[in-house]
Structure 1
Amino acid sequence: MQHIAMRWESETGEAVANFDVNGIDVRIVERAPAGSFCLRFIDPYGDTIFNELQLPALVSELEQLRDATPEQELRAHIERVLAFLCTVEGPHCYVRFIGD
């Protein structure tokens, strides 16, 4: 199964923290609602960056997806993604998704 790397970066692009070595499950992106503001734009084959102003929308969309996901293991994975995103704080912080 394909995964997408995720990391917290400084404004200079330096990695502050990396999510799980296996990255996020691509099903998160595949199941993004067509009207989502963030999730549907994560590129499984390229890089996608969100800034600190976009993070609340990303978190909200992930919470909605978690609540609508029937598979327990995927729900648990989304919880870990949310826990990581909740550690991202401060000005000029970014979350980068790195596709294949």
Structure 2
Amino acid sequence: MGVELELHSGRPARNDWDKSRATLLRGSYEHGKGLAQALDRLAPNSPGKLWWVDPYGNTVFNEQEAEAALREIDGLLEKCSSQVQRDAVKDLAVLLRCCAATPGSYLWFIGD
């Protein structure tokens, strides 16, 4: 199980591969397993946005949700039990920052 990340300039077309590629700005595909493990450490219904991420499906954050999720990164890093997880969360933070700074963008969490 893993969670890959894609930053899109507009809402990604989740059911149309070609259309979703047209809005792709940046992807992160190397930390999926570590990110899934780190996000699994969050309690369901905990405050914040990151617990919403579905490790088996797809979750999309807009720029405002990405900005809100950035405030959760330090707490999530504290919960990480390995360097693999910490690296994944740091990569997530970069993409959340990019999304928050790019008007109209979306961060797509692609679960297995």
Q: What is the TM-score when the length of structure 1 is the normalising length?
A: 0.81
1:22-57 per-residue CA deviation (whole Å, 9 max, x = no partner) reads 436211221113313211111111110001111122
Give 1:93's aligned residue. 105
Return the alpha-carbon distance in structure 2 between the equivalents of residues 28 and 70 of structure 1. 8
Count, aligned residues: 99
Report the alpha carbon displacement of residue 12 of structure 1 after superposing the two structures with TM: 4.5
Q: 1:12 to 1:71 in 2, by over 3 A?
A: closer
Q: Kindly indicate whether residue 58 of structure 2 is the aligned counterpart of residue 59 of structure 1.
A: no
Q: Is the contact made by 1:47 and 1:98 (CA closer than 8 Å) also made in structure 2?
A: yes
1:51-78 per-residue CA deviation (whole Å, 9 max, x = no partner) reads 1111122111122110233433322321
AA matched with 2:37: R
Return the alpha-carbon distance in structure 1 between the equivalents of residues 65 and 11 of structure 2. 18
Q: Kindly indicate whether residue 32 of structure 2 is the aligned counterpart of residue 23 of structure 1.
A: yes
Give 1:7's aligned residue. 6
- Listed as ranges, the gaps of 5+ residues in structure 1 are none
Q: Is the contact made by 2:31 and 2:87 (CA closer than 8 Å) also made in structure 1?
A: no
AA matched with 2:107: V
Q: What is the TM-score when the length of structure 2 is the normalising length?
A: 0.74
Return the alpha-carbon distance in structure 1 between the equivalents of residues 85 and 103 of structure 2. 31
Report the alpha carbon displacement of residue 79 of structure 1 after superposing the two structures with TM: 1.6
Q: Is the contact made by 2:95 and 2:107 (CA closer than 8 Å) also made in structure 1?
A: no
Return the alpha-carbon distance in structure 1 between the equivalents of residues 31 and 84 of structure 2. 14
Counting aligned pairs with the same residue, the percent is 24
Q: Secondary structure at the match of 1:36?
A: coil
- Listed as ranges, the gaps of 5+ residues in structure 2 are 13-22
